[in-house]
Amino acid sequence: MECGCLRKPAARAEPGSTSGQRADPEDVSGSEVLEWSGRGGSWKTGPPGTERADCGTAPPHADGDHPDDGSRRRVKGTNASALEKDIGPEQFPINEHYFGLVNFGNTCYCNSVLQALYFCRPFRENVLAYKAQQKKKENLLTCLADLFHSIATQKKKVGVIPPKKFISRLRKENDLFDNYMQQDAHEFLNYLLNTIADILQEEKKQEKQNGKLKNGNMNEPAENNKPELTWVHEIFQGTLTNETRCLNCETVSSKDEDFLDLSVDVEQNTSITHCLRDFSNTETLCSEQKYYCETCCSKQEAQKRMRVKKLPMILALHLKRFKYMEQLHRYTKLSYRVVFPLELRLFNTSSDAVNLDRMYDLVAVVVHCGSGPNRGHYITIVKSHGFWLLFDDDIVEKIDAQAIEEFYGLTSDISKNSESGYILFYQSRE
């Protein structure tokens, strides 16, 4: 995927204009954060000790001027005091910080997911708690913890931080991200959560082997040594149950499957509730798709349906907006209008599900901007202390709640540019 982000350091980009050079995480220092020094000026760095950031610094950059990328032409380096003014000194949350992230060459997919996760409070708190532990060998989680800690401990309330160390580590660990091509935000989210879980599980395993874990038994049976659940699982993991009913003997069998996010199909002019209902629609297995019933000892017609058995603390919903079109021999974007409410209750739950009436509040949305999967840009909108903010790489803006409707998608012509909700993060009230 090629990112069509517009990048201009001082003013709104005009069609056909050019701007600075991409920032390379290997070419920047790691001691200061960036500050814009005026409308016609340049980036400057704060003195060491006043705006220190462990993640490095970088100059302005460009991702190319693509007139069909669907991204908003926002002012790069928007005056930080303007955001503070929009929020208001009396309303600005205590101990909260709103920092944009520098784009290191088509890394908006990464920046957007990191901002969404930062404002999922249970996730942020666990990452910061990990940072507070004893020094560990560098890995993707230590780099993420350094980044979150750098944001959370800034003296200024707003600004820009270059996530140099995190991007460099990401590129070292996975060849998929070791380039300047745009990547899929959902794929990155999956990789990040699973990698963090693997790191935590491996550390627990090592602690147990070293006899450091309290109540650890070095001689316990091998079958009890399966991977332990981590705080990633406690936050994001839910359970689906796949129920299949034989239409001949009426025997019902079920199989559970854990998930960290749910991927749902989208249709035109629908809602998330409708998408989830379709996800759990009953499917009849017949003809060549007959189900082998162990009770009947033969293939039989059956009905299958998917239900949510365990609801996660934070429900991450991935809207499947990229579809392979056989006639075009390529993927295209489905810019369908899909309404996502600020409050959500799941109705596609199993009869034995716990907390059936659990209510969720929307806390973050990763938005894909553009007309297709190969050109585009990612931004994020988050809810923080009762108001909404838009993060577009290094730009942070306060927006009205009504503006969220702009990110539902389009009511017609799926090939047009759109800013469409792509990954939704709902947090449980419990």
Marked catalytic residue, from 3, 5, 108, 275: 108
* Pair of tokens at residue 420: 């469409």
The predicted structure's pLDDT at residue 211: 78
Model pLDDT for residues 300-326, shown as the tens digit of each residue: 999 999 999 999 999 999 999 998 888
Marked catalytic residue, from 149, 186, 318, 377: 377
Strands 98-101 and 158-161: parallel
Give the Cβ contact number of residue 100 at 10 Å.
25
Model pLDDT for residues 244-278, shown as the tens digit of each residue: 999 999 999 999 999 999 999 999 999 999 999 99
CB contact at 8 A, 366 and 376: no
* pTM over cut 0.85: no
CB contact at 8 A, 299 and 292: yes
The predicted structure's pLDDT at residue 21: 40
CA distance 262 to 271: 15
Share of the chain above pLDDT 90, in %: 58
- Specify whether 369 is catalytic: no
CA distance 355 to 368: 32
- Specify whether 377 is catalytic: yes
Domains in the chain, CATH or no CATH each = 2-210+230-240+306-428 (3.90.70.10), 241-305 (no CATH)
The predicted structure's pLDDT at residue 286: 94
Closest CA to 256 of 295, 309, 210: 309
The predicted structure's pLDDT at residue 6: 44
The residues of the chain scoring below 70 in pLDDT are: 1-80, 212-225, 413-416
